[in-house]
């Protein structure tokens, strides 16, 4: 019984995510979701107390997917700069593979939903930013990054870059892939922002 219930919950979440992949599709209501699944709305509420709880299920999936990989990156990679690169690449690649979930990440489908959902997304992004700071601190502890570098500012900049690519992806109707220019953009980000040099004002005359 528990297994069947778990499978039905997963089917509901997968269907919701699929509906979110249609940026100009029907409004996401429990009635529309039930219709797609060919069940009654009452059947949905046997598995989820509300639509907000369904979105929470999607957010939990996003968290689990991202942080299982981020933790593996931290465990496997000794280079802080390489960790940083892989985390940002993960953020872009996850969005590319999961268009519907990217709409959850940028919050456009949460506008008229329970405020706690956006709060959950904000917490998730704070955790991602903390992971970037940790990777950058590792880079700064070696020779990859100036030890005086402002890792908090750099981590925030890289997260903002990823969020900007997510937003372009969603606003373009998923036509502008967030990973399309990544191979060319990462070296520029690295050169401009991450490899710190002594400011001209501090150079000896």
Structure token pair of residue 49 = 């107390």
Q: Is residue 30 part of a domain?
A: yes
**Would you state the pLDDT for residue 7?**
86
**Digitized pLDDT (tens) for each residue of the chain, 205 residues in all:** 345 666 889 999 999 999 999 866 557 889 999 999 999 999 999 999 999 999 999 999 999 999 999 999 999 999 999 999 999 999 999 999 999 999 999 998 898 888 999 999 999 999 999 999 999 999 988 888 877 779 999 999 999 999 999 999 999 999 999 999 999 999 998 886 666 544 434 434 3
CA distance 140 to 102: 31
Q: Is residue 204 part of a domain?
A: no
**Would you state the pLDDT for residue 144?**
86
Output the domain CATH number for residue 4.
1.10.10
CA distance 43 to 40: 5
Q: Is residue 201 part of a domain?
A: no
Structure token pair of residue 164 = 């900007």
**Would you state the pLDDT for residue 68?**
98
Backbone angles phi, psi at 48, to 5 degrees: -135, 135
> Do 44 and 85 reside in the same domain of the chain?
no
**Would you state the pLDDT for residue 23?**
63
> Do 102 and 182 reside in the same domain of the chain?
yes
Q: Which domain holds residue 37?
A: 1-48
> Do 117 and 185 reside in the same domain of the chain?
yes
**Would you state the pLDDT for residue 28?**
84
**Would you state the pLDDT for residue 128?**
98
Output the domain CATH number for residue 158.
1.10.357.10
Number of domains in the chain: 2
> Do 80 and 121 reside in the same domain of the chain?
yes
Structure token pair of residue 100 = 């519907």
**Would you state the pLDDT for residue 196?**
52
**Would you state the pLDDT for residue 4?**
60
> Do 166 and 108 reside in the same domain of the chain?
yes
Structure token pair of residue 43 = 């059947």
Count of residues making up the chain: 205
Please state the pTM of the whole predicted model. Answer: 0.89
Question: Using N-to-C axis directions, what is the helix angle for 80-97 and 51-76, rounded to 10°?
Answer: 150
> Do 17 and 94 reside in the same domain of the chain?
no
Burial class (CB in 10 A: 0-12, 13-18, 19+), 2: exposed
**Would you state the pLDDT for residue 103?**
94
- The DSSP result for 135-160, as a single string, is HHHHHHHTTSS-TT--HHHHHHHHHH
> Do 101 and 6 reside in the same domain of the chain?
no
Q: Is residue 153 part of a domain?
A: yes
CA distance 13 to 120: 17
> Do 114 and 76 reside in the same domain of the chain?
yes
**Would you state the pLDDT for residue 146?**
76
> Do 2 and 75 reside in the same domain of the chain?
no
> Do 98 and 178 reside in the same domain of the chain?
yes
């Amino acid at each position: 019984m528990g297994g069947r219930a778990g499978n039905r919950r997963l089917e509901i979440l997968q269907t919701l995510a699929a509906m979110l992949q249609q940026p100009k599709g029907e409004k996401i209501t429990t009635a529309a979701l039930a219709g797609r699944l060919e069940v009654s709305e009452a059947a949905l509420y046997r598995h989820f107390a509300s639509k907000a709880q369904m979105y929470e299920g999607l957010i939990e999936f996003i968290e689990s997917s991202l942080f299982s990989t981020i933790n593996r990156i931290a465990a496997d990679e000794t280079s802080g700069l390489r960790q940083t690169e892989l985390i940002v690449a993960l953020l872009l690649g996850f969005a590319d593979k999961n268009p519907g979930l990217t709409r959850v990440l940028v919050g456009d489908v949460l506008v008229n939903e329970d405020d706690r959902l956006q709060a959950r997304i904000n917490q998730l992004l704070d955790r991602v930013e903390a992971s970037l700071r940790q990777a950058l601190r590792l880079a700064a502890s070696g020779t990859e990054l100036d030890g005086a570098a402002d890792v908090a500012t750099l981590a925030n900049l890289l997260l903002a870059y990823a969020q900007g690519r997510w937003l372009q992806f969603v606003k373009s109707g998923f036509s502008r892939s967030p990973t399309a220019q990544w191979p060319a953009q990462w070296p520029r980000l690295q050169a401009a922002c991450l490899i710190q040099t002594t400011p001209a004002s501090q150079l000896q005359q």
